[in-house]
Amino acid sequence: MSLTAKLDSYRPQALAVLRIASSLFFLQHGLAKLIRFPYVEQLANVPLFSQFGIGGIIEVTGSLLILVGFYTRAAAFIVSGLAAVAYFQFHAPSNFFPILNGGELVALFSFVFFYLIFAGPGAWSLDGRRG
């Protein structure tokens, strides 16, 4: 068996690791806004019914759905769009280059979740159990 074939055999598990890790990292942003954990000073006083508060609700809900792999494609579509809007609204206006506008992370989140729309959840998902 070639190395490529061996690596290909683990593709569903690698996709699941990407899905789980990305959702856990993204979840922190929503939790910091909604329950102040982990504590981020800039996000400590976000009103629930503000743009940031509603974004936090979407981040937490979407992240949890993606984490367990339940309606993964739909959740990834929503949070990918949320991250894209955040990038263009808050980062892109200050500079064209993500490294200079502080938007690398949010842009990367947008693309990872965009990929999950097409790739699906991979292994270890509730979507997989549903059939």
Q: Tell me, what's the pLDDT at 33? A: 98
The identity of residue 4, as a single letter, is T
Q: Tell me, what's the pLDDT at 40? A: 97
Q: Tell me, what's the pLDDT at 78? A: 98
104: tokens are 């690398």
**Direct distance between the N- and C-terminal alpha carbons of the chain, in angstroms, rounded to an integer:** 30
Divide the 131 residues of the chain into consecutive groups of 10 and give the mean pLDDT of each group: 96 98 98 97 96 98 98 98 98 97 98 98 96 72
Residue 118: give the domain boundaries.
Answer: 3-130
Q: Tell me, what's the pLDDT at 131? A: 72
Total count of domains within the chain:
1
CA nearest neighbour of 71 among 19, 5, 29, 110? 19
Q: How many CA atoms lie within 13 A of 83 on its CB side?
A: 29
CA nearest neighbour of 56 among 76, 26, 91? 26
Q: Is the pTM of this model over 0.85?
A: yes
Q: Tell me, what's the pLDDT at 94? A: 97
Q: Tell me, what's the pLDDT at 34? A: 97
